Amino acid sequence: MTRHVMIVGCGRLGATAANALLDRGDRVTILDTDAENFRRLRPRVRLSMYVGDGTSHEVLRRTGIESVGAFIAATGRDTTNALAAQSARTTFGIEHVVCRINDPTRSEMYERLGLTTVNPNQLLIELVLDAMEQ
Amino acid sequence: MYVIVVGAGKIGFYLTRELLAVSHEVALIERDAYVSATAAEEFGSILITSDGTEPTVLGEAGAERCDILISTTGQDATNLTACQVAKYSFNVPKTMAVVTDPDHVPLFRALGVDVTISTTELILSHVEEELTGGPFVHVLPLRGAASGIVSMRVPSGSPVVGQPVSRIKLPQGTLLTAVIHKNGELKPVVSDPELAADDAIVAITPPEKEDELWHALTGEARR
């Protein structure tokens, strides 16, 4: 089943997620405030790229948030991600929302508030520790 | 009261000064070293140069015993995060956020920010007042947002001009709290003053009664 996913932030995480989703056949709309970051992606049929602020409800609405089924907040800033993700969930009622949070003490709070968070650093640390065990 | 102010920009700086002047205990948190250095000359040791959205920083600032956290930066995302961390990690009883994008106001309320101060809406309401000679100025939403404090000016053609305050048929649930004469003199409502044109009225009213209150004070339907 083809899904339509909106991603805010076209850094390494956002771009990699976009490519993986496109490879699986999903549709992707990606936003970044800096057009330069789109160099990480090449044009593809089911990919839309927009320069804009993913915390602005007006921008989210204009770029089609009302028709997406999933939302990923993937910028490098926790505060931006938290605002974008909570906008997607609370203001636009998106069911599947994932939010990148780098600070582990904050991600625990957001989890308590019902937000699904991922912490790249934490994942990396776990992988490193696992590798050392072997 | 113990107040934590996040952001030592224009709003945070002057707010902190006012709060100290009325003897509140204040901690001011500013992330930017340059902005912080300017504020340090005025505030000294109550200034913390760090990120006010980080739980460890707020913890060290004593967020556990804080009564109000006010986040005043120009970034909505920062202000929301500071308020949410204060509320949900430290149980700060009251959080206030400056909101730049008016679209964020309902979201911030839904996410647990107790008071939102939208600079755009604030300025706009004053602009409207100046331009049209009178709609409501929403002075302050009250806790729970069921009612708010509003202010308006009595137009010269209003049927209430020359009438005592007690004759005004106020909508249910509305309380007239003050009458201010155009020369700035406060007329106590208990003395039942007679209203004059250009008197400013301050009232507490639920939002759905605003049109009715407007009609009671102007004799006209609200535009």
Residue B209, pLDDT score: 86
pLDDT range class, residue A79, cuts 50, 70, 90: very high
Are B115 and B140 found together in one domain?
no
Are B21 and B92 found together in one domain?
yes
pLDDT range class, residue B191, cuts 50, 70, 90: confident
Contact A134, A107 (CB under 8 A): no
Are B21 and B106 found together in one domain?
yes
Nearest CA in chain A to B89: A109
Residue B128 covered by a domain: no
List the single range of A37-46, B1-10, B90-99, B126-135 with lowest mean pLDDT.
B126-135
- Beta-sheet pairing, B47-49 with B25-30: parallel
DSSP class per residue in B147-199: -EEEEEE--TT-TTTTSBGGGS-PPTT-EEEEEE-TTSPEEPGGG-PBP-TT-
Are B171 and B74 found together in one domain?
no
Are B37 and B71 found together in one domain?
yes
Number of domains in chain B: 2
Mutation for testing the B interface, residue in A59, A86, A99 having most B CBs under 10 Å:
A86
- The reported pTM is 0.75
Residue B126 covered by a domain: no
Q: Tokens standing for B158?
A: 């209003």
Are B160 and B139 found together in one domain?
yes
Residue B125 covered by a domain: no
Residue B127 covered by a domain: no
User: Is it true that domain A4-133 has CATH number 3.40.50.720?
Assistant: yes
Are B87 and B18 found together in one domain?
yes
A105 interaction partners in chain B (CB closer than 8 Å): 54-56, 89
Average pLDDT, chain A: 94
List strands edge to edge, sheet with B68-71. Answer: B47-49, B25-30, B2-6, B68-71, B94-99, B115-118
Mean pLDDT of B79-104: 96
Point out the domain boundary residue: B72, B95, B120: B120
pLDDT beyond 70 at A65? yes
The helix/strand/coil state of A48 is: strand
% of chain B at pLDDT higher than 70? 94
| Ranges assigned E (strand) in chain B | 2-6, 25-30, 47-49, 68-71, 94-99, 115-118, 137-141, 148-153, 175-180, 186-187, 200-205
- Tokens 């101060």 belong to B117
pLDDT beyond 60 at B132? no
pLDDT beyond 90 at B190? no
pLDDT beyond 90 at B157? no
Q: Tokens standing for A67?
A: 């028709």
Residue B62 covered by a domain: yes
pLDDT range class, residue B134, cuts 50, 70, 90: low
List the single range of A25-29, B120-124, B168-172 with lowest mean pLDDT.
B120-124
Cβ separation A79–B85 shorter than 8 A: no
Residue B135, pLDDT score: 62
pLDDT beyond 70 at B143? no
List the single range of A26-40, A115-129, B93-107 with lowest mean pLDDT.
A115-129
CA angle B13, B19, B24 (to 5 degrees): 135
Residue B35 covered by a domain: yes
CATH code of residue B167 = 3.30.70.1450
Residue B204, pLDDT score: 87
Mean pLDDT of B34-61: 95
Residue A101, pLDDT score: 95
Are B154 and B112 found together in one domain?
no
A113 interaction partners in chain B (CB closer than 8 Å): 84, 88
Residue B57, pLDDT score: 97
Are B51 and B103 found together in one domain?
yes
Q: Domain residue spans in chain A?
A: 4-133
Are B211 and B101 found together in one domain?
no
CATH code of residue B68 = 3.40.50.720
Q: Tokens standing for A64?
A: 């089609």
Contact B137, B150 (CB under 8 A): yes
Mean pLDDT of A21-41: 96
Are B71 and B157 found together in one domain?
no
Residue B223 covered by a domain: no
Residue B86: name the closest of B105, B109, B104, B63 by CA: B63
Distance CA B64, CA B70 (A): 15
Average pLDDT, chain B: 89
Mean pLDDT of A65-88: 97
Write out the residue range of the structural domain in which residue B164 sits.
Answer: 133-218
Nearest CA in chain B to A88: B107
Q: Does B60 touch chain A (CB under 8 A)?
A: no
Cβ separation A56–B88 shorter than 8 A: no
pLDDT range class, residue B165, cuts 50, 70, 90: confident
Cα dist from A129 to A89, A100, B51, B115, whole Å:
34, 21, 29, 44
Distance CA A116, CA A128 (A): 23
Point out the domain boundary residue: B120, B142, B160: B120
pLDDT beyond 60 at A71? yes
Chain segment B11-27, per-residue pLDDT in tens = 999 999 999 999 999 99
